[in-house]
Chain A
Amino acid sequence: MRVMKNKKKMLETLVVLMLFVCVSVGFGRAPTEEPANTAEPVLITLTWANHQAYPWNPEWPVTTYIEKTLNINLEAEAIPFQEYDTKLVALMAAGNTPDIMLAAGGDAYAEGYKANLLLPVNDYLDQMPNLSNLLDERGGLSAVLFAAGEMDGNMYRFPCFSSMQADNVSVWVREDVYKEEGLFYPQTAEEMADTLLKLKELFPDSVGFTNFYGANTLINMSYSMFNVPRSPFSRFFVDTSTDKWVCEAATENVKGMVQYWRDLYDAGCLDPEIPSQDNAVAKNKMLHGLSMLFHGWISAIDQFRAAVADENPDYSIIPIGFPPSERYGGYSSAEQPFNVGETPLVMKSTATQGNFPKMLEFMDFLYSDKGIEVANFGIEGESFVWTDDGLAKVIDETCVNPETGGPSADYASKWGTTVWPWKTVYSRKFFYGTSPAVLEFYAREQARTTMRSPKVMMTPEEQEDFSAIHQPLNDYIGTEYVRFVFGQRPMSEWSKFVSECRAKGMDQVTDWLNQYYERQKAMAAK
């Protein structure tokens, strides 16, 4: 008993000691805003959606450079991106928000918008000259509001511009294999099917076309190939000939697209494992010849080649973009000129804070030429220099790609570029290399048109009713596409599928979209 008593006393003291340590270690204070003071750097708090491939690093030279130039102190909270919106919604509900919320997605935005918690950007344009200039370049404020504003005539997101480069994913072919077998690089979707069939003949053990991230990627990639426009409302788009919204499930193009992949699946040229494979398995197939034509990131060129350099020094891949269908036409995969999908939000309440002017200055800086340069390329003189051709050349030897002179994969994570991708100018060319194949790819893509249907404004109540029908329908259509392609449902049932969509509210959604679209056009005409 005595021993027990002593042991218990020890345990008690240990627990108390632990709690004491915890209290002293754990006591933190929430970041407070400090008034603008020319001597001391102003504190600005951010949240950042942390992706595993690209984790936030507080010591990034680019961030430090921006902090020094503007005399601010950026304090970022890195939240895993899958849970990002959840946390933002919770912070908004408690009124405990940071100054700037980067990359805020649909949920957080919708909550803030509904509750009038967000800062209307257009009201502060007079304090943001650089942003105003860029907006003027894109058609002026009214054009931008039509594309990205809300029903109340305000724009709540800080926009992200792009220079209409190509998408940073592509379809790849194995250059070495094609050269050896005397195959041609497909220029159209139909040619791509032919090469796939030929490859299957030559390599019966191969799985055919494969990709990362599942069946959705396959379907999404095919939109541009088969001339099915994209829009902010999945599965619906504006038919340019009639200027009316239609559902894609009712169109011939989509049927052709699904049929195309289904035929390839039946012929054994489409990897049946696409919906369920782990990324590691997919990568293995691409590296070791189980798939000679596949879909992946632009940066794969160097990485893949380095990964198999020992076993297969001839390995080489080149991007062919997304070959358009001859029959249905196709458009470019290039980015849209204007994006407000996952761009920064600021809370209305920050307008009364002491650090607000500095914060606007910071946001505006990133739209200035210097800001764009720093955010996209790095620090001139330290990490890169401008060549006479107007291209950027990496001078940091630890992360340069010897073949292209561009940055290696480690460049962005070391220097902190592409964190603030608010105007991506030539960053794609810079970042993903300037090998002839890549440059050709960009040129080809930019020569074609892009097609994206506009955003349609709705009130929060309308939005709720709309989503209640649209979201399940969207999910259903997506599921059925995959089931058709991967053999779970015969193509003979296609018309049945369309009538199922009708039964699930396809017409109601189309009517709503047309109604609101007309209203939006009428408002803009005034």
Chain B
Amino acid sequence: MKPHYSKPADIAFWAFNTVFLGAVIALALIPILHVISVSLSDVKAVTGLRVSLYPIGFSFKSFMLVLEDFNFFRSLFNSVIYTVSSTAVALLLTTSGAYALSKKRIRLRSLMMKFIIVTMIVHAPLIPSFLLVNKLGMYNTIWAIIIPGSLHTYNLIIMRAFFNDIPDDLEDAAEIDGLSPIGVLVRIVLPTSTAILATITLFYLVDFWNSWFRAFLYLSSRDKQPLTIYLRNILEMYMGGKENIISLIGGIQSKISHETMKAATIVLVSFPIAVTYPFLQKYFVRGVMIGAIKG
């Protein structure tokens, strides 16, 4: 249907909307462009803080330097493996948990929700978590990355809320047709929930890609490090209290600490995950639900 723009209120709305969205885009793009420009600029221009939104002294040198580093690719490979497998485990646990808990007829549902939410609020201290992982023999293995901490209660709750929204009639109809609850989940509910599935998958993918704490704590071999640790070893984050170490080492400028190289690494690390959203966007169409039940 063609949009009508006859009403003046509509036009005013459209104008306001355009300005608002334009501002959002601009504010989002400015820092991104800055980082990309820094990565493509000449070091001297960067040190002189002359680079703003476009590269000065265009050169791919910093990218080349990063890509020459074998460690970068190994970390990239590790990150991909960790992210995908963690997400797979997470989705399995989250979907089954969220679906089961969305059924009102489960007894103790309220109790179990409280049970789960407590874990979101009260955090396990560092040393007991570490001791557990160590005792299970998972230290310095991939299992320490994909299993503990793979289930985010936040996501489970959101998914459950969405499953709640699906009208019972749909599932009742399927049950009458003879499907078991698992069958209902797989064949009816999931296909109509592509939007929420895509959202939660995206959340997990991004969270796991960006997570560094588990890798830092539970891994020791260099060849198992993911990209986040690689990045953390490059970007300087001075939190205070370590003045003596800084003065000891300060000034030893290896190639790594050049601003352009840092920017290039940031771009290369953020790029893969930032482009997953457009791929998942097509799942944000309205579910197949409409029309499944003939009116």
Chain B residues near A15 (CB-CB < 8 A): 88
Q: Which residues of B contact A447 (CB under 8 A)?
A: none
Q: Is there contact, CB below 8 Å, between B81 and A299? A: no
Number of interface residues of B (CB under 8 A): 57
CB contacts (< 8 Å) of A296 on chain B: these are 251
Decide if A410 touches B254 in the complex (CB within 8 Å): yes
In the complex, B6 has a CB within 8 A of chain A: no
Residues of B within 8 A of A94 (CB): 130-131, 134, 139
Q: How large is the interface on A (under 10, 10 to 19, 20 to 34, 35 or more residues)?
A: 35 or more
CA distance A377 to B81 in the complex (A): 41
Within 8 A of B (CB), among A41-100: 49-55, 58, 77-83, 86-87, 89-90, 93-94, 96
Query: Once the chains bind, are B257 and A87 in contact (CB under 8 Å)?
Result: no
A103 to B247 alpha-carbon distance, docked (Å): 14
- Known A-B contacts A28-B140, A90-B126, A342-B245; A55 and B191 likewise in contact (beta carbons under 8 Å): no
Given contacts A22-B81, A53-B253, contact A287 B220 (CB under 8 A): no
- Provide the bound-state CA to CA distance between A96 and B232, in Å: 24
| Also in contact, A82 and B224, with CB within 8 A (given A87-B217, A169-B250) | no
Q: Determine, out of A124-132, A213-221, A348-356, A515-523, the stretch whose residues face the partner at the interface.
A: A213-221
State whether the Cβ of B270 lies closer than 8 Å to any Cβ in chain A: no
Q: Which of A141-149, A278-286, A482-490, A496-504 contacts B (4 or more CB under 8 A)?
A: A278-286
Given contacts A55-B233, A83-B216, contact A298 B251 (CB under 8 A): yes
A77 contacts across to B, CB distance below 8 A: 220-222
What chain A residues lie within 8 Å of B139 (beta carbons)? Answer: 30, 94, 96
B48 in contact with A284 (CB, 8 Å): yes
A87 touches B216 (CB 8 A): yes
- Is A297 an interface residue, CB under 8 A from the partner? yes
Chain A residues near B25: list those with CB within 8 A. none
Chain B hits for A81, CB < 8 A: 242, 245
Report chain B residues within 8 Å CB of A86.
126, 217
Q: Across the interface, do B233 and A53 meet the contact criterion of CB distance under 8 Å? A: no
Interface residues of A (CB under 8 A from B): 1, 4, 8, 15, 18-19, 21-23, 25-28, 30, 49-55, 58, 77-83, 86-87, 89-90, 93-94, 96, 103, 105, 167-169, 213-214, 216-217, 220, 279-281, 283-284, 287-288, 296-300, 303, 307-308, 310-311, 341-342, 409-410, 412-413, 418, 421, 432
B residues near A (Cβ < 8 Å) are 43-44, 47-49, 81, 84-85, 88, 126-127, 130-131, 134, 139-143, 145-146, 186-187, 191, 216-217, 220-222, 224, 229, 232-240, 242-257, 259
